[in-house]
Amino acid sequence: MTNQWDAGQYDAKHAFVYEKAKVLVDLLKPVHGERILDLGCGTGVLTAEIASRGAEIFGIDRSTEMIQQAKSKFPALRFEVADATELKFNSEFDAVFSNAVLHWIPEPEKVAAGIARALKPGGRFVAEFGGKGNIQTLVKAFHEAFASLGIQEPQGVSPWFYPSIGEYSSLLEKHGLEVQQASLFERPTVLEDGTQGLENWIRQFRRTFMEKLGEETATKWIREVERICRPKLFHDADWVLDYRRLRLVAVKA
């Protein structure tokens, strides 16, 4: 999967991705001197928050655009372009932290194995990402909009992996990580820019897919998605997405 991101637009219009996750840093409880890997660090905001608490932090992301933005914003911190399915670390980190990235990766087995290898014995894995049922109204509308417009649906309209607690806990345990906390919870999320919010979201998070459609078809498709979603997701002049988040804490034996 190719990840192409507008990192500037991500910070300007979709800061909720990291702003709502600062509680996850509290759950991580980073302490001075720990080595921590931020897996899927994006533009580095949470990486910097972890660093401010005294930890030695290393942020990685598959997106070159995101890493460039992170380096520009936080030049004193270490960032690198890397693939979460190809982690090369071996017992190097006291903790692995990840926010809002694991649902983008269709090879969870490789990710879990790499995380387990990267952790020192007793190291912890703290993560939050899309869980079972996440944005289900929007995903359903994606498919319905193509049918309504009479357009053959291209591959890749909904690339995400949204597991249940049981599915992901079993995966981690298979790789030697003991799950100590796990929760799946609703988090309705108000998008910025009022009536423009849903289109902004689609153009940010389905950017590569949209480019494949071409602008004319993409615009028609977005309008139809908006029409389908409006009764359930548009409230008081704002789009509110039906987010469901899976939050986990696991420890390497």
pLDDT for the residue 207: 85
pLDDT recorded at residue 16: 54
Report the chain's mean pLDDT, rounded to a whole number: 93
φ, ψ for residue 130 (rounded to 5)? Answer: -65, 130
Nearest residue to 96 (alpha-carbon basis) of 28, 42, 162, 27: 28
Instruction: State yes or no: pLDDT of 5 exceeds 70.
Output: no
In a domain, 2, yes or no: no
Which strands make up the sheet holding 177-186, listed edge to edge?
A: 78-81, 56-61, 35-39, 93-99, 119-130, 244-252, 177-186
How many structural domains does the chain have? 1
For residue 223, which of 114, 148, 128 has the smallest C-alpha distance?
Answer: 148
Q: pLDDT of 32-63, one tens digit each?
A: 999 999 999 999 999 999 999 999 999 999 99
Q: What is the pLDDT of residue 80?
A: 98
Mean pLDDT, rounded, for 91-119: 97
> For residue 23, what are the domain limits?
7-252
Can you tell me the mean pLDDT for 164-182? 98
Give a yes or no: residue 129 inside a domain. Answer: yes
Cα–Cα distances in angstroms (integers) from residue 119 to residues 87, 95, 108, 114, in the given order = 11, 6, 17, 9
pLDDT at 1: 41
User: With bands split at pLDDT 50, 70 and 90, how would you rate the model's confidence at 251?
Assistant: very high
pLDDT for residue 187 is more than 90: yes
- Whichever domain contains 18, its CATH number is 3.40.50.150
User: pTM score, two decimals?
Assistant: 0.91
In a domain, 221, yes or no: yes
| pLDDT of 22 above 60 | yes
**Domain presence at residue 1:** no
